[in-house]
Structure 1
Amino acid sequence: MQLPVLLLSLIAAPAFAAITDAPPAPTSTVRVVTLTDQLERPWGMAFLPDGSMLVSERPGRLRRLSADGELSPPIAGLPDIAVRGQGGLLDIALHPDFARNRQLYFAYAAGEGLLGDYGTEVASGELRGERLENVRVIFRASPKAGGGRHFGGRLLFDRDGLLYISLGERGDRDRAQDLGDHNGSVIRVRDDGSVPDGNPFVGRAGVLPEIYSYGHRNVQGLALDADGTTVWGLEHGPQGGDEINRLAPGLNYGWPVITYGVNYGIGTSIGEGTAREGMEQPVYYWDPSIAPSGLAFYRGDRFPRWQGNLLVGALKYELLSRLVLENGEVVAEEQLLKGEIGRIRDVDVGPDGYVYLLTDESPGRLVRLEPGRE
């Protein structure tokens, strides 16, 4: 059942220091409608053709929220999931032809061996009622490792039906520069897990052919741009240096050789500084860190002024950042909801044009943003 509405008139806070020094964007007023507050550490969401939604919970459950606000019991059929540190059940994505084949894709942490090594895996299954059937693993990040940090876990299908998978470097920085290691990269595969011929490292000795881009610390958001041609990635920096990047095949995004962040607590430099030839600069970065998670381009008619803007969730400052783009560059930022609804884990735009947010809490919420009176 739909819960009470919160009406917020939001004043843009001063922008955090960033590479573009973007000024504040014009302020927005929104209504916050809580659809459910009975989730545990929700992580990802997907909109079903019948108007209901799927939500993943990191402790290892998949739930359906009906169009009238009823939350289902956990959907059956998931494989064993390792709930360790930042790992568990992560993002979910529908196959582009879901209405016909009912294929759901999900990322999760999985254990292996007696030493307690863990890594990100992606599986697919057919959603039949309240159960997943014919579940099979289509990708396993290799090698697995100990610890519970930086699993990545975002999923995105592009217009050609290729699947992008983000992988953190598992807290071991140098892995992000090792092309013989999946971790610290963005992966691109076909819907069955096979490698597309157009991947940038196909046929190159000693390089894993699934890798699309590398030099990433922990990508926590993936989105297609407004015209559907370019994949954008949102990634956690260390202390400072959270980044937004335009992802392109075969490019190196620098971690840990270059970064705008520093070592936690002690503030010492990391790597070689902020730039190096052959390594990409971010489109935008935050310092101090906002711990970003969830990325979406706004396309819809509910918020006309937001058309083509980037929407970014933040865990640390509990806010939604709206980034205004011109010619692919950030020219203004508005920070909404700061401290109002909790840690924002995921951001998406529904088929109805409203903006949906998940809060990384226990209990966690799924909320819908609607236009308020300007």
Structure 2
Amino acid sequence: MADLVPGLIICLMAVQTIQHDGNRTGTTANKQPGVIPKTFRGKIYKLNHTNQRPTPLHPSTAPRLIVNPDDAATAYTTGVLSTWVIPSSYILAMLVGIPSNAYILTFLRVRLRAKSLSTVILYLNLALSDLVLLFSLVLRVHYHFNGNNWIFGEISCRLITALFYGNVYCSAQTIACISLKRYLAVVRPFLYRRLAKTTLAVWTCMIVWFLFGAAIVPELLVRQSYQLTQLGVTTCHDVLPLEEKSHSQLLPYRLMLVCLGFIVPFLICIYAHIAVVYHLGQSGCDWRPFIRVSTLVFIIFAVCFLPSGILHIVHYIRLLSGGDDRLYGYYRVAVCLCCFHSCLDPFLCMLISKTAASELQFISLRGMPQRLAVMM
């Protein structure tokens, strides 16, 4: 019997070692990186016999996520960038943009009596989109100043997220439509005169809002708010779990949305601007003041929208290639520039209207003067 005791002890030690190694292997397997579109990566908290429930957070029904304290998500959530710089930029954009867009609506209502009804419709659509975007920032300002802690519930988080990103693309598409209209008026004046401009403008706005609706549907269908166990906050859209397949399946859709909502409108604006400047330069009139103003408007559009578009695409590529989400914080800062463009649109509209004197006289290649009642 004495000889059996050492053997039993050795067997028990071996079994304990094998069990410990198996638990460690399972934990490592659960931490394999995945792909999550647009946002930071998180891991859903699951209670089992090896875990203890974390300290209770504020009352909320949002699921819990676990993030590494050394990850970029933690640095962004607790850093001065998201808790001070971004909300301060939003406040400045709202203080300037909401009154100016409200004023431009009154200005455009007076312009309804003018001949260029189609242009007025497009600018009304742009002002409306900008106002929706700026009003959607109110709750996000509270969210960021509150330490990235969302207290308004899941439904409001989905709605604000959908309105925010949907109207960014809506503004870019409307600006592209205005640029295309300016191109037809200057470069193709005979075709422009034959078009049913008012009807075409109405249909264009309807298509833009249809695309807006298609863009926000996925954001309304998936959960956007999650509690971060280590930080004690509930984030809205900024951190999403890797385990949910519904989020990872949105990646191809959002890549297509970036192309249709930003790349295509930006290419249209580039082509339209170059063509308009070239044809005005070939005419016998001095269009230098209008060309300078038009160039300024295009540069402002590029500065405000190009950084967010590029960072958005590169962020997706990095997620697909290696699951790196560190660019998301920089992307959020770049989106602030889109909000500033929404508050600058009314001033650019007034500037172009006064520079063009509302009626532009363009001399075609045949030397025939064509009078175009357009507000460029």
Per the TM superposition, whether the score is higher than 0.5 is no
What is the TM-score with the length of structure 1 in the denominator? Answer: 0.25
More strand by share: 1
The structure in which a higher percent of residues are helix is 2
Higher RCO structure, 1 or 2 (CA under 8 Å, sep 6+) = 2
TM-score normalised by L of structure 2? 0.25
